[in-house]
Amino acid sequence: MKHKRTLTTGEIADYCGVNFRTVIRWIQRGQLRAYQLPGRGDNRVEVHNFIAFLRENQIPIPRDFLHLARKVLIIDDDQEVTRMIQRILRTHDFEAYSADDGFQAGSLLREHLPCVMTVDLNMPGVSGYEVIEHVRLSPELRTTKILVISALPEEDLHKAIRLGADEFLPKPFTPSDLAAKVLQLAGTEIGA
């Protein structure tokens, strides 16, 4: 299953515990992105669209797909903080990628399509606020959850939430606080 790229409506129905006609309705309503095979017109759903659909509807991600859903992009210009976040996330089986600035983050976001990104607001060049706005305007990143990790005052953290961030974590933070926030945003539980 690890290398499967597309799913049938029947396979999705099995994973979600619904009738395949329900899956077809999701596709017809535009809730689940799919394409039709030439000839018979059978629907196929790319795995990343299936995962995006699950996240948007707060449906638990099946164990077969957790390896695809556990990517995190860390955007922070402080290498020490970045390494610490990577260590913490790797102990919870996340793939963690990092970017030193907003420019580098742009290409990594599209390459990896992370389920969660952490972003520091105070960075040189493209600010964390601008990164948040960019992600929220990008259709392919609409399901990426944004965790702001910053030492800025609380009013700045709330501004980030208004711009589209999902959660914030003030610096300094504990490893357990970080893990709990990322696991919650990724839709998985501790120990999953």
Amino acid, single-letter form, for residue 75: I
The pTM of this model reads 0.69
**pLDDT of amino acid 103:** 84
90-100, pLDDT tens digit by residue?
Answer: 998 888 999 99
Alpha carbon distances (Å) from 64 to 4, 10, 35, 69, 141: 10, 16, 22, 10, 22
Domains and CATH numbers, the chain: 6-65 (1.10.1660.10), 70-185 (3.40.50.2300)
Q: Which residues of 66-103 are buried (b: 16+ CB within 10 A; e: fewer)?
A: bebbbbbbbbbbbeebbebbbebbeebebbbbbbbbbe
Highest mean pLDDT among 1-5, 61-65, 105-109: 105-109
Does the structure show a pLDDT above 90 at 113? no
Q: Give me the mean pLDDT over the 100-110 stretch.
A: 86
In the predicted model, is pLDDT for residue 66 greater than 70? no
Average pLDDT of the segment spanning 45-65: 83
